[in-house]
Amino acid sequence: MQVLVLDDSDLIRKILVDILLDIGLQESEIQDTNNGTEALQKLNSHTFDLLLLDVVMDGIGGIAVLKESKKIQPKAKVIMCSTFSKKDIVKKAIDLGVDDFVVKPFEERRLKETLLRNLPPIAASGVLNQDSNDHNQG
């Protein structure tokens, strides 16, 4: 399982990586970046099963990365994460083939449920049933 996390916030990237580790991924299975240019470079040099993309960032944003990722790696699942829940952004992401959309601030348990829904092999392990503290993240 290989996952790419794209968010311009160091804190949010760390939280997302920690949640991925908490549901059973290994550090070697997760790559992260704070900009769309580097995300596209990683997509061109490495195969991913899941992309977690922030929508709005300086430079190349998550929507542009989503659009390119569907050309480069059409089988990769994509979850968009953003504080922006405007209908036009959600519609554009859906039109481009996003698999799921998480609005920040998110609850840890809801994000885990979204991840497990999009990563069936991990969902089978039942990690979500373990006790964890829910935290609101922004």
The domains of the chain, with CATH numbers, are 3-123 (3.40.50.2300)
DSSP string, the chain: --EEEE-S-HHHHHHHHHHHHHTT--GGGEEEESSHHHHHHHHHHS--SEEEEES--SSS-HHHHHHHHHHH-TTSEEEEEES---HHHHHHHHHTT-SEEEESSEEHHHHHHHHHHH-HHHHTTTGGGS-----EE-
Query: Whole-model pTM?
Result: 0.84
Residues 110-132 pLDDT 10s? 999 999 998 866 554 545 444 44
pLDDT value, residue 57 = 84
